[in-house]
Every structure is written in structure tokens, then in C-alpha cells.
Amino acid sequence: MIVIIDYGVGNLTSIQNMFRKAGVAAMISSNKTDIENASKILLPGMGAFDNCMQKLNESGLRNTIEQKVFSDKIPVLGICVGLQMFMENSEEGNLEGLGWIKGSTIRFKPGLMHVTHKIPNMGWLEIDSKKQSPLLTDLENARFYFAHSYHVKTANAEDELASAYYGYDFTVGIERDNIIGVQFHPEKSHRFGMQLLKNFSENY
């Protein structure tokens, strides 16, 4: 069973509904036993980085989640700030990230943009894959919905799964072993998001 982690943040019902549309069973839970029994987990995130990290740290679920990710090696998918939390830190806040992926979350840099783009980035962007991945099966020329002012920057290029262009190229997906994350919102991305969640369910 896929468990969508409920630590008080994120569009949990929207994510569950998109899984359902894809024909995939997923439960929303803050129960340690449910997480311990999960075959895959999804870490949502929305809003400010520090708020998400604080809520996760206070939830009492972090040790259980990290046991599943690092000892049991089950697949984990982070969405939006859920991805950003995988990093070591964020320019948005002062709290440490989970540190599962080497790198940082940084604010969009207007000075680096070839043309002026509004921040936050809100809208649809096409993504470019950087390596082959089961997550991106049947997603050639896919477009996804974004709503963010910050994006991740990995220390190791091999961790980058996909990029998009918004004034400059930036990382929109990472994958290292069983740790996977996307900056965009699959639950708001119609058929492309449905396919991505189906791929996460079936291909790992």
C-alpha cells in the first residue's frame, strides 16, 4: 500500500484522488504502523520550508520514515516542498533539511534570467529528462503545473532527474536509488500527473 504521509501539510486529498483516477490505492495516514507497513511512501509539502520541517519534526514520524527509506529501502516520492525537504538546507528558512540528498534549495535568481519572469513561478512548464527513469515512462513532451519561488540545486549532477526552463534551466526532479522527488504538482497536472503517479506505483 502507498501511504501519503499526513504531518499537517499538503494537498493530501487531491493527491489521493489523483492516485484513485490512476487506478492506484493510496491511503492518507499519520499512523506509525501504517507507515511501517507501507510498500511506498509519498511526502507532500506546501508553503514555507521551515513550517514543513517543523511540522514533520514535531509529528514524531521522522524516525519511522527514515527507517523505511534507509533500512527497508522502500521508494519515497517527495512533492514540491516535500522534494525541497530532501536537501540539506533552504534559503527560505533557517532549519536544516532532511539531508537525504546533497545540495540546497535556493530562490529563483532574477539576475540570471535571460528574460524577466514573475516570481513565484505559477503555471505549466515542459520538463526535460536528464536520465532514464521508471518515473518518466510514457511522459515524453510532458507538461506539469508549478507553483513555487524556490527550487533545488543538487551537489551531484547524477542526482538530477529532470529540468525545466523558467528564465534559466533549473532542476525539477531528482532520483537517487529509492529517493525520488519532483518540484511540480502531479495532483494538479491532469493526465501527465496521473501517469507519473501510476509510474511511481507500478515501476518501483
- Where in the sequence numbering do the catalytic residues fall? 80, 185, 187
Closest CA to 186 of 83, 91, 97, 106: 83
The conformation of residue 10, written as its DSSP 8-state character, comes to S
Task: Check: CB of residue 79 under 8 Å from CB of residue 46.
Answer: no
Task: Check: CB of residue 144 under 8 Å from CB of residue 155.
Answer: no
Q: 23 CB contacts (<8 Å, ≥6 apart)?
A: 198
CA dist., res. 53 & res. 131, Å (int): 29
Q: 39 CB contacts (<8 Å, ≥6 apart)?
A: 1, 2, 74
Burial of 72 (0-12, 13-18, 19+ CB in 10 A): exposed
**Alpha-carbon Rg for the chain in angstroms:** 16
